[in-house]
């Protein structure tokens, strides 16, 4: 694995290897070993052309724990704001001896473009591109599910909400189907579920009740207002009434079902606060596991594994 641009097309063996490697880093973190020297002397450049709290910070923590030097380019104050092109920005940062670019961009495909233009020893990790893919989120979601449910073979997983604009949903679907999840459902109004979902091997449900009945894992998605035109934008009250996850509706899932959300959360829009903060929520453990998963991804693409 030279770059990590998408989960799509990666074989089960590579996904499992990343999750297994991350397990080692979780146990390292448990023992409060804060740093390992796997990326000593390497420079990781975080390039977030779109806002982020979780992904950017956990990549920074992960790179620091691998002993890399971390450079966070402040895009708003960079010369990209003066019109410097993406590839010129990359060429100049490459001249500063970058080893890994972690890239988030509103344009689907931007990390692919970068990967085509960097030198062979430089690695690109997609930290979310448009509505296309968010592979490390998909992987940390798989890590979380495996941690709490052990095996994918008998699981029913529901992915609920604004599937249309969600790069997380696409990465989760590819990962879940590759890892052998028994049933993946996507759940949302017709306007927010893309037409190619059935061909991705998932069951499409247009009511929350049908979608989460007897499932083991419920992954809630944020309404991505920033990617919607006015006509598509549902009223938040209407959306919550039909697709908002409340403690009452969660009772339709299995009693031991876990609730996940990639964040940021819109409380009272796609999910009730009582569920976010309730006993079945594993939303904050997802964030913590993101550190170990990103440590695993960076060490594997750099070829410096534990």
Please tell me the number of Cα atoms within 13 Å of 87 on its side-chain side: 8
Which residue's CB is nearer to ligand CP, number 67 or number 106? 106
> 193 and 163 in contact (C-beta within 8 Å)?
yes
Per CB under 6 A, 227 contacts ligand CP: no
Please pick, from the candidates 27, 53, 116, 225, the single residue that binds ligand CP as defined by CB under 6 A: 53
Please indicate if the annotation marks 170 as binding a ligand. no
Interface residue with ligand CP among 6, 46, 55, 126 (CB under 6 A) is 55
Which long-range contacts does 199-206 make (Cβ < 8 Å, 24+ apart)? Answer: 200/173, 200/174, 201/173, 201/177, 202/159, 202/173, 202/177, 205/158
> Phi, psi (5° rounding) for residue 257?
-65, 145
Residues that bind ligand CP (rule: CB under 6 A) add up to a total of 9
Torsion over CA: 60, 62, 64, 70 (sign): negative
Q: What's the min distance (Å) between Cβ of 293 and ligand CP?
A: 12
Q: Is 189 in the site for ligand CP (CB under 6 A)?
A: no
**Nearest C-alpha neighbor of 53 from the set 263, 266, 260, 261:** 263
The answer on whether 206 is annotated among ligand-binding residues is no
| x/- letters, 236..265, toward ligand CP (CB under 6 A) | --------------------------xxx-
Coil vs helix vs strand at 23: helix
In the list 24, 43, 52, 224, the residue contacting ligand CP (rule: CB under 6 A) is 52
Q: Which stretch binds ligand CP (CB under 6 A): 14-22, 47-55, 64-72, 295-303?
A: 47-55
Interface of this chain with ligand CP, residues 124 to 153, rule: CB under 6 A: 128, 137
- Dist CA 15 CA 166 (whole Å): 21
Q: Does 166 bind ligand CP (CB under 6 A)?
A: no
User: Three-state DSSP class for 8?
Assistant: coil
Contact residues for ligand CP, defined by CB under 6 A: 52-55, 128, 137, 262-264
Q: Would you list which residues are annotated within the binding site?
A: 54-55, 82, 104, 134, 137, 167, 222, 263-264
Binding-site positions for carbamoyl phosphate: 54-55, 104, 134, 137, 263-264
């Amino acid at each position: 694995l030279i770059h990590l641009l998408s989960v799509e097309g990666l074989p089960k063996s590579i996904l499992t290897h990343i999750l297994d490697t991350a397990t080692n880093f979780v146990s390292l973190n448990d023992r409060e070993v804060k740093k390992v020297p796997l990326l000593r002397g390497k420079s990781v450049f975080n390039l977030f052309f779109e806002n982020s709290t979780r992904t950017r910070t956990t990549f920074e923590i992960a790179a620091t724990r691998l002993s890399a030097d971390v450079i966070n380019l402040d895009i708003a104050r960079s010369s990209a704001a003066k019109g410097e092109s993406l590839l010129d920005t990359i060429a100049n940062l490459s001249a500063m001896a970058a080893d890994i670019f972690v890239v988030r961009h509103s344009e689907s495909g931007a990390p692919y473009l970068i990967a085509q233009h960097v030198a062979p020893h430089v690695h690109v990790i997609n930290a979310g591109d448009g509505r296309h893919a968010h592979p490390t989120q998909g992987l940390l979601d798989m890590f979380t599910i495996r941690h709490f449910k052990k095996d994918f073979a008998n699981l029913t997983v529901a992915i609920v909400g604004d599937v249309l604009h969600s790069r997380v949903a696409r990465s989760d679907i590819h990962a879940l189907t590759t890892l052998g999840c028994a049933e993946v459902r996507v759940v949302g109004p017709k306007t927010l579920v893309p037409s190619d979902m059935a061909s991705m091997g998932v069951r499409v449900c247009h009511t929350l009740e049908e979608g989460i009945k007897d499932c083991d894992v419920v992954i809630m998605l944020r309404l991505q207002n920033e990617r919607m035109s006015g006509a598509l934008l549902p009223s938040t009250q209407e959306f919550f009434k039909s697709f908002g996850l409340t403690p009452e509706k969660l009772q339709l899932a299995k009693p031991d079902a876990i609730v996940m959300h990639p964040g940021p959360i819109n409380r009272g829009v796609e999910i009730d606060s009582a569920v976010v903060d309730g006993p079945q929520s594993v939303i904050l453990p997802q964030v913590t596991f993101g550190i170990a998963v990103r440590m695993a991804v960076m060490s594997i693409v750099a070829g410096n594994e534990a």
